[in-house]
A and B are shown apart, each in its own frame.
Chain A
Amino acid sequence: MATQHSRSAACMMMAPAVVLLLGWMLVPLIMTLFFSFKKYLPLRGDSLSDGLEWVGFLNYERFISSGSFWPSVQTTLIIVLSVLIITVTLGVLLALLLDQPMWGQGVVRILVIAPFFVMPTVSALVWKNMFMDPINGILAHLWKFFGAEPVLWLSEASLPSIIIIVSWQWLPFATLILLTAIQSLDSEQLEASEIDGAPKLKRFWHIILPHLSRSITIVILIQTIFVLAVFAEIFVTTGGAFGTKTLTYLIFQRVLDSQNIGLGSAGGVYAIILANIVAIFLMRIVGKNLDA
């Protein structure tokens, strides 16, 4: 039914949405680029109405030569990679578990998905005050119960703590996507492999895991996008201290703490470049699963 006429009509009708979305993305991007080449310190009297001084690549040079830059890139990548490994591994296992017929299946599934509906700020606060608090936290009580010295989670094991919190938030997402994938597996395939002599572990490895590969790819791509920009969890727990300063957090500090919009904008452009490098690597590694 796709005639020339209906196709041009479709273009016309989609145009407003496309233009709006394009504007929505292009305007901030161009503004960021614009500020990154300017000296813009609002507290020192710089303002848009007076006109900003053009400084060339000075902001870029200053951002990258700062001692915090490379550690922050490293922290970001460690968090993203760890969260991906934890959520995908546990997500597959949880999905397998939830696929088993059991009493109260519906309720259990809703409970498993629940953390995804908790706002990042709230869940980070809950973890900070109720679980990881060295005096009142549940984990501290657990440690004490076994006679161990409570861990000062957010200062001594700060990066693992952030990784645990973020993983806890994203695990339901991975589980949910992988569970639906497992449910779409043809049971005759499993039975065939059972008759073909594959024990449980080999059935998982040769049949279930390849079947899940496409969904795992989706989970990895979507989570990478969001975890690269993780912010609230760090803001309400460590505040970027103890080696938990990610690139996003560094940009936030440059713009708001140092009140240097030009420098922060240059950092924003670096963040875009980093995200694209990660995206290219990911598409190379897992993107081929999306074909066919």
Chain B
Amino acid sequence: MGRFVLDKVSKSFGDAQVIPPLDLTIEDGEFTVFVGPSGCGKSTLLRLIAGLEDVTSGTVNIDGKEMTDVPPAKRGLSMVFQSYALYPHMSVRKNIAFPLRMAKMDKAEIKKRVEDAASVLNLTDYLDRRPGQLSGGQRQRVAIGRAIVREPSAFLFDEPLSNLDAALRVGMRLEISEMHKRLATTMIYVTHDQVEAMTMADKIVVLQAGVIEQVGSPLELYRSPRNTFVAGFIGSPKMNLLKGAEAEKHGATTIGIRPEHISISHESGMWEGVVGVSEHLGSDSFFHVQCDAFEHPLTVRATGEVELNYGAKIFLTPDLAHLHKFDADGLRL
């Protein structure tokens, strides 16, 4: 079990209110990702759920029980920290066993659980090493091992992959997703990387300055962002947000069109522009095109290996079915 209900939860540090009152429900078994730019309060929100910070007002409910003033140890949650927070003077075995020892579990049972976790996480050969002798990826696994042995009602992840290199990050992303499918336990995951959010989440919570901008499945957020902030934050490369006369033609202050919803033509099209920098990834090519109609260059995606010279004149046509319209307050029309 692991159903979280936050009711009008707010947090202030002194006079600075970092999280204005917000409501949020996380269903049992859901993989929820808090995503937002740095300093948006996503880690603070996670720490409020964990109990590492006290809420200034509001209530936190876990599985129907009021947990607002319950200390972190009694909430039945596990947390994986950005720095992994392994205990440097203990072996991997003792690190993983620590929560079980604190729970005064039977020695044989501890041994069994630790070894099971180690074999799942490919740590069996490293059980007697110290964290200092492990690589970044292995330390990450130990931290996850320490989290899973307790069989918590929910896992909390605080930017767990940001200290790993790119290749390892993709691998660990997959492993965490698989772990979620296997355990079917609630997971709350904090990240600033929208790719992690899109690939892993059942539900994404987009935060900005402590305010929830939108909650929804990755594709809901992709298809219908509620405002310009979410539109610009979700999706890679970013959505083109365009203002001016072209936007007014569509009856909006701002229009948004994703790079993958623009087609390129050498002969004719809606907007004429000049090709700037090109980025070739093999599977896709991205072009930065400066159009006369807009102040900023547009990003355009073409599938496969497409060659366009720097300075070439081309025409762009947006797919109107995927055009997003926003009003003067940045809200979706």
A residues sitting closer than 8 Å to B (CB atoms) are 186, 188-189, 191-199, 202, 206-207, 210-211, 213, 292
> Is the pair B102, A192 in contact by a Cβ cutoff of 8 Å?
no
Which residues of the other chain, B, contact A199 by a CB distance below 8 angstroms? 73
Q: Closest CB of chain B to A286's CB: distance in Å?
A: 15
Given contacts A196-B73, A197-B99, A198-B102, contact A191 B87 (CB under 8 A): no
* 14 residue pairs A–B, Cβ–Cβ below 8 Å: A186-B83, A189-B85, A191-B72, A193-B102, A195-B51, A195-B77, A195-B78, A196-B73, A196-B146, A196-B150, A197-B99, A197-B103, A211-B88, A292-B130
Which residues of chain B are near A292, meaning CB under 8 Å?
Answer: 130, 132
B222 interface hit (Cβ, 8 Å)? no
**B79 touches A (CB below 8 Å):** yes
Are A189 and B72 in contact, CB atoms less than 8 angstroms apart?
no
Whether B98 contacts A206 by the Cβ 8 Å rule is: yes
CA distance A193 to B50 in the complex (A): 13
Contact A202 B87 (CB under 8 A): no
Q: Which of A188, A195, A198 counts the most B-chain CB atoms under 10 A from its CB?
A: A195
Q: Is the CB of A210 within 8 A of B89?
A: yes
User: CB within 8 Å of A: which residues of B?
Assistant: 50-52, 71-73, 77-79, 81-83, 85-90, 98-99, 102-103, 130, 132, 146, 150
Given A202-B102, A206-B98, the answer on whether A194 and B73 have CB atoms closer than 8 Å is yes
CB neighbours (8 Å) of A202 from chain B are 102
The residue in B50, B71, B82, B98 that gathers the most chain A C-beta atoms within 10 A of its C-beta is: B98
Residues of A close to B98: CB separation below 8 A: 193, 196, 198, 206
Name the residue of chain B whose CB is nearest to the CB of A188: B85
Give the shortest distance, in Å, between B100 (CB) and chain A (any CB): 9
**Bound Cα distance from A193 to B81, whole angstroms:** 11
Take A197-B103, A206-B98 as given contacts and tell me if A192 and B73 are in contact as well, using a CB distance cutoff of 8 Å: no
Q: Which residues of A contact B51 (CB under 8 A)?
A: 195
Within the complex, what minimum Cβ distance (angstroms) separates A89 from chain B?
Answer: 20
Residues in B with CB closer than 8 Å to A193 are 87, 98, 102
Q: With the chains together, A195 CA to B72 CA distance in Å?
A: 5
Given A196-B99, A198-B102, A211-B89, the answer on whether A191 and B146 have CB atoms closer than 8 Å is no
Point out the residues of chain B lying under 8 angstroms from A186, CB to CB. 83, 85
A290 to B83, CA, bound (A): 24
- Bound complex: CA of A188 vs CA of B103, how far in Å? 20
With a CB–CB cut-off of 8 A, which chain A residues contact B132?
292
Known contacts A189-B87, A195-B52; 20 further A-B pairs (Cβ under 8 A): A188-B85, A191-B52, A191-B79, A191-B81, A192-B81, A192-B146, A193-B102, A194-B72, A194-B73, A195-B79, A196-B73, A196-B102, A196-B146, A197-B102, A198-B98, A202-B102, A207-B87, A210-B87, A211-B88, A213-B89
Query: Distance (Å) between the CB of B14 and the closest chain A CB?
Result: 13
Chain A residues near B90: list those with CB within 8 A: 210
A191 touches B85 (CB 8 A): yes
Chain A residue with the shortest CB-CB distance to B77: A195
Inter-chain contacts of A192 with B (CB < 8 A)? 79, 81, 85, 87, 146
Distance to closest chain B CB from A193 (angstroms) = 7
- Residues in A neighbouring B71, C-beta threshold 8 A: 194
- Shortest CB distance A35–B (Å): 49
Using Cβ atoms and an 8 Å threshold, which residues of chain A touch B73?
Answer: 194-199
A192 vs B98: C-alpha distance when bound (angstroms): 10
Which residues from chain A contact B72 at a C-beta distance below 8 Å? 191, 194-195
Contacts of B103 in A (CB 8 A): 197
Residues of B within 8 A of A207 (CB): 87
Complex Cα distance, B99 from A188, in Å, reads: 15
4 nearest CB pairs, A to B: A192-B85, A196-B99, A188-B85, A197-B102
| Residues in chain B near residue A195, CB distance under 8 A | 50-52, 72-73, 77-79
Q: How far is the CB of B145 from chain A (nearest CB, A)?
A: 12
A194 to B85 Cα, complex, angstroms = 11
Q: Give the chain B neighbours of A211 by CB distance below 8 A.
A: 88-89
By beta carbon, the residue of chain B nearest A187 is B85
Chain A residues, CB < 8 A from B52 = 191, 194-195
- Give chain B residues whose Cβ lies under 8 Å from the Cβ of A191: 52, 72, 79, 81, 85
CA distance A230 to B132 in the complex (A): 40
Q: Cβ of B82: which chain A residues have Cβ within 8 Å of it?
A: 188
Closest CB of chain B to A214's CB: distance in Å?
10
* Chain B, Cβ-Cβ closest to A207: B87
Please give the distance in Å from A223's CB to the nearest CB on chain B: 23
Q: How far is the CB of A170 from chain B (nearest CB, A)?
A: 26
Residue of B nearest to A192 (CB): B85
Give min CB distance, B261 to chain A, whole Å.
Answer: 42
